[in-house]
Amino acid sequence: MSEEIRVGVYICHCGGNISDVVDVKKVAEELSHYPNVKVSKNYMFMCSDPGQQMIIDDIKQNNINRVVVSACSPALHELTFRKALQRAGLNPHMYENVNIREQVSWVHKGRKEDATRKAIRLTKAGVEKIVRQDPLEAIRVNAERHVAVIGAGVAGMRAAVSLARRGLGVTLIEQADRVGGRLLEMDRIYPTGEKAIDVVNGLAKEVEGEKAISLLLNTQVVGIDGYVGNFTLTLQTGDEKAEVRAGAIVLATGYNHYQPQEGEFGYKESPKVVTLPEFWALLKEDKVSAKHVAFLHCVGSRQFEGLDQPQPDGKVNDYCSRLCCTAGLHAVEQLLERRPDTRVYHVYKDIRTYGRGHEDYYERMSRKGVRFFRYADGEKPEFVGHKLKVRDVLTWGEELEIPVELLVLVTGIMPRDISGIIDALKLPTGVDRFLQEVHPKLRPVELANNGVLVAGCCQGPMDVIESCASAEAAAVKASILLAKGEIELDPYVARVVPEKCDGCQKCLAECEYKGALTMTNRPEGGPLLATVNKALCVGCGACVAVCPTRAIQIAGWSLDQFDAMVDALVSEEYTHA
Amino acid sequence: MKCDALVIGAGIAGLQAALDLADQGKQVILVDRDPSIGGRMINLSKVFPTLDCASCITTPRMASVAHHPNIKTLTYTEVDSVTPVGPRFLAKVTKKPRYIREDLCIGCKRCEEECILYLSDEYDHGLGAKKVVSIPFTNAIPQLPVLDMDECMLCGACAKACPTDAIDFMQEPVHEEIDAGTVILATGYNITPMDAKRQYGGGKLPNVISPFMAERLLAPHGPYGGVMRPSDGKIPSSIAYVQCAGSRDASIGVPYCSRVCCMYAIKQAMLLSGSLPIADITIYYMDIRAFGKGYEQFYQNAKAMGIEFVKAKVAKITEDEEHNPIVRIERQEGTSAPEEVKHDLVVLSLGMVPAWVPDRDGIIPLEVGADSFVRTPRLTAPNLTSLPGVFAAGAATGPKDIVDTIVEASAAAMEASNYLEACAK
């Protein structure tokens, strides 16, 4: 490579997210004197069109051939800038993203000078890295035009139908002996009052109508491996095992109801205390004869550490379960239709009837004489001797005792236990235990694992409408991914310098990704050679750390690059004065 | 012009739907009545619950749309009618005159610099000023100015300054027809008007502002470069939010919950306490509806930061002679007597109404709900409208936050592409 190295450095203000703390002009000025840097600029929003155009113009007019942008986390805009390089005709991997937002401005508020110094050092390290970068090429793999959808509740069925109509093959996998999932527990569903069974049957008919869907009931997923475009799922139906190959996986594994602990508001201690799903079952069979029924909201939701009993993992459910307010009011409506003379009390923190048509339930139930009592965070009602004791905020803190013949605990929801799948694919979950999307706005139905998508309540509480929307969003992402039958993967994977590898196999022992690393015979003989399957390697670098001869390294993250970055980070402060 | 899909509205929903169709190889025409794509979202400061700056999420999407080989964008264009023709649709659109030749303009802003007349800037919701000929905002796409002919005094300074002779005072509207295979409505929302409620000052109290104005005050590139109140530029030390100021209120015709106001108020309160650390911030509310993923935790963080949440419906807002708003409330905690509280600045948490109502505004024969939002008859296909081949996403079908809007936009793209598949068979 005889071409002169010409680095362009761009410091983003990120509105004020960065520039309120970091002196961006100083960073740009400082970098303009750094070796190999030919252009150094700062701009309000580098990710905006004019910002990207600035880079493109410099590549075309100033022959910039390597680019460093100091801005937000690469999780947000690394791709944005790589695409800009591509548009300018430069290899997209000649780009380095330095994170001076999450790693500098957001964590060093009030220390402007130090933050600026840190931003300068990090950016210099970025320059050192990109100076040593090779032009990498994306890895191309063939993709199966087939999707495995796990779970045949509404979300799973919805995703399957949309995918099949788009021309993709679908295996729809359900562990129960019927489709429909949790919806079948309900009689009618809000906000339309449709029969749940009709909604399920309607979708089931659509599933049946699509020849490209093969529905497997009574089937468990017992193994998953592979990578985007080429997953292999091992399925077990009864004693029989089968394998399915899929280019993408849609997880629609749904939720469990929060199960109150024994004695929680009298649950299991008193026959008068039931959960909302148990109440649905009673309601379906018209077995609710109690004259005074109280609904206690936020059981298993909006909990507080130290105040509520944690789950086995040591965490409380501090999130809102989204559905229970309207579901509770809807249950009351159904009760009052059958038994209009029932006295109903709602004991709640906030009524969250947020969705289209939800507020109407609240309005209607208020008009029908349902009593609402509000308790404050930290002042949990108590169920003692057939009475629900509440300190009611709405009556300026009145201590009330509500005589209750039936207490319905409006329970929240938790993700269904899919630890087998989570472990096999190393899927990310949030502190709330639900599957964690890459970014709620940028990539709301995608997981960090390429080719694995989420639909419905495995990601968080959602009603039928929201579950179906998320299922269709997952379907469209799978369609885009598999449209061409070929997928491009990031080239940041391990590569081996054969001359340096002495076949010690230490790397093999460290590799956690099945099939990513194997030892092969060399055609010319000699020690075994570590060999990387580029599609399976995730570029984690565990092998790099143990290789005694520096034979195995991550493309784009070589040890030479790390050495130079560390040197830049710890070198005596270089100030151009 | 012919395309597979016509997407009406280039806010975050329209952008996402267009991208998800174009990435599948569909040819998309994206139309917006505003001079830039980006919709409401590009106008916001930061967005909940991640507190990413709104521009950081929107601008890359705008750039992707602008550079996508399968997307053609028509800005400053009104849709006059959409008529079903067999399974396809004929759309008539009118490109409004910018009085700028798009083929010649290089976006150098010389015209804007030379122009001597200032106007109230609608992008800053009246808090700032712009020139009569100007590019709508810094990161607008396309980077083309618009000349406001109603206000222009035809001095010709801009035309003289333009290096490419792009100013055209005689430009006429251009009518065009689009033959589209499917239509996605991503027509978004307006906020309820400031003067909807007389009890809250009817929009006449200078220091009672809309949430959009508050967004601009908080935006890093906002009109004042900081948080000041409109009447006198004073930095407020006591700020109040009035929740449900345009929702859950049958008296103004909006009985429904607008779904986003709790969260945007909490978010703005957090941002305010970041830029004005000693200010007291109070949120008067009925119920805090922090229902989305991570929202409850966000609310609890706000409480921990010292933002005061007072359960009280605000009856009335007046002002003293220094334009300090006075809020009349009845607390539901503590004492029961009505009281009046003076603040420096009050933000009305206004609700959402549809930006475009089919049976009011014409254009396309669609059913709407009692709330005037587009009716979506099927629970399990929430983007279908009453007209086959026409799909809706985002706030067009009811109040919605950005997270839910983006998911819906992708879902609408799925339905639209499957409609195209079915028609092709």
Q: Examine the fold and report which residue of B351, B369, B385 is the final residue of a domain before the chain moves on.
A: B351
Indicate whether B166 and B221 sit together in one domain: no
What are the domain boundaries of chain A? Answer: 7-137, 146-254+416-487, 259-413, 494-554
Whether A259-413 and A7-137 are alike in CATH topology: the answer is no
Domain stops at, among B351, B378, B401: B351
Same domain, yes or no: B229 and B301: yes
| Residue A573: per-residue pLDDT | 64
One domain for residues B311 and B380: no
The pLDDT tens digits for B93-123 are 999 999 999 999 988 889 999 999 999 999 9
CATH class of the A146-254+416-487 domain in this structure: alpha beta
Tell me the average pLDDT across B312-317.
93
Nearest by CB: A476 against B139, B295, B410: B410
In chain B, residues with a C-beta closer than 8 Å to the C-beta of A165 are 418, 421-422
Residues in chain B within 8 Å Cβ distance of A464:
379-380
CB pairs < 8 Å spanning A and B:
221
Residues B325 and B360 in one domain: no
Q: Which residues of B touch A166 (CB under 8 A)?
A: 414, 417-418, 421
Tell me the C-alpha distance between B213 and A274, whole Å.
Answer: 48
ipTM, 2 decimals? 0.96
Q: Do the bridges between strand B280-285 and strand B238-242 make them parallel or antiparallel, or are there none, so unpaired?
A: parallel
Angle at A362 between CA A154 and CA A254, to 5 degrees: 20
Query: Where is the domain boundary, B351, B378, B403?
Result: B351
Judge if B299 and B178 occupy the same domain.
no
Which residues, 6+ apart, have CB-to-CB distance to A129 below 8 Å? A96, A561, A564, A565
Q: How far is A190 from chain B (nearest CA, A)?
A: 10
What is the domain extent for residue B333? 192-351
Number of domains in chain B: 3
User: Can you read off the two tokens belonging to residue A386?
Assistant: 């057939």
Inter-chain touch B415–A472, beta carbons under 8 Å: yes
Q: Is the pLDDT of residue B335 over 80?
A: no
CATH architecture of the domain with residue range A259-413: 3-Layer(bba) Sandwich (3.50)
Q: Do A468 and B259 touch (CB under 8 A)?
A: no
Domain A7-137, CATH among 3.40.5, 1.25.40, 3.10.20, 3.40.50: 3.40.50
Q: Where are the alpha helices (DSSP H) in A440-576?
A: 464-482, 506-510, 542-546, 559-570
The answer to whether A420 contacts chain B (CB < 8 Å) is no
CA nearest A432 in B: which residue?
B294
Q: Which residues of A touch B256 (CB under 8 A)?
A: 356-357, 359-360
Quick one: closest CA in B to A202, which residue?
B380
Select the residue of A77, A189, A354 nearest B257 (Cβ to Cβ). Answer: A354
CATH number at residue B284: 3.50.50.60
Residue whose C-alpha is closest to residue A388's, from A369, A408, A368: A408
Tokens of A331: 């249950």
CATH number, domain containing residue B165 = 3.30.70
Alpha-carbon dihedral angle through residues B120, B124, B130, B133, given to the nearest 10 degrees: -100
pLDDT string in tens for chain A (577-residue length): 458 999 999 999 987 789 989 999 999 999 999 999 999 999 988 988 889 999 999 999 999 999 999 999 887 889 889 999 999 999 999 999 999 998 999 889 889 999 999 999 999 999 999 999 999 999 999 999 999 999 999 999 999 999 999 999 999 999 999 999 999 999 999 999 999 999 999 999 999 999 999 999 999 999 998 889 999 999 999 999 999 999 999 999 999 999 999 999 999 999 999 999 999 999 999 999 999 999 999 999 999 999 999 999 999 999 999 999 999 999 999 999 999 999 999 999 999 999 999 999 999 999 999 999 999 988 999 999 889 999 998 888 889 999 999 999 999 999 999 999 999 998 999 999 999 999 999 999 999 889 999 999 999 999 999 999 999 999 999 999 998 889 988 899 999 999 999 999 999 999 988 889 999 999 998 999 999 999 889 899 999 999 999 999 999 999 999 999 999 999 876 555 4
B278-287 average pLDDT score? 96
**Per residue in B385-425, pLDDT tens?**
999 999 999 999 999 999 999 999 999 999 999 999 999 98
Name the average pLDDT for chain B: 95
C-beta contacts of A507-514 below 8 A and 24+ residues apart: A507/A542, A507/A543, A507/A546, A507/A547, A507/A552, A508/A543, A509/A546, A510/A542, A510/A543, A510/A545, A510/A546, A511/A542, A511/A543, A512/A540, A512/A542, A513/A537, A513/A538, A513/A540, A514/A225
- Interface residue A488 vs chain B (CB under 8 A): no
- Residue-level pLDDT at A2: 59
Quickly state the pLDDT bin for B63 (edges 50, 70, 90).
confident
Same domain? B182 vs B208: no
Claim to verify: residue B208 and residue B334 sit in the same structural domain: yes
**pLDDT confidence of residue B89:** 97
| Judgement on whether residues B58 and B198 belong to the same structural domain of the protein | no
User: Chain B closest CA to A529's CA: distance in Å?
Assistant: 40
Question: Beta B71-74 vs B28-31: how paired, if at all?
Answer: parallel
Return the residue of B nearest to A86 by Cα.
Answer: B67
Q: Min CA distance, B320 vs chain A (Å)?
A: 30
Co-location of B325 and B197 in the same domain: yes
A chain contacts of residue B335, beta-carbon cutoff 8 Å: 396
Q: What is the CATH number of domain A494-554?
A: 3.30.70.3270
Minimal Cα–Cα distance from A220 to chain B, Å?
Answer: 25
Q: What is the mean pLDDT of residues B69-79?
A: 97
Q: Shortest Cα distance from B311 to chain A (angstroms)?
A: 9
Whether residue B78 sits in one domain with residue B18: yes
At a CB cut-off of 8 Å and minimum separation 6, what does B290 contact? A320, A352, B262, B263, B266, B296, B298, B299
Of B57, B143, B382, the CB nearest to A465: B382
- pLDDT at residue A575, as a whole number: 57
Q: Does A541 touch chain B (CB under 8 A)?
A: no
Sort A423 into a burial class: Cβ within 10 Å, 0-12 / 13-18 / 19+: exposed
Interface probe for A, chosen from B247, B289, B414, B423 (most Cβ of A below 10 Å), is B414
Pick from A343, A298, A341, A337: nearest CA to A321: A298
Shared-domain flag, residues B112 and B258: no
Cross-chain CB nearest to B289 (options A202, A352, A430): A352
Question: In terms of domains, do B86 and B134 share one?
Answer: no
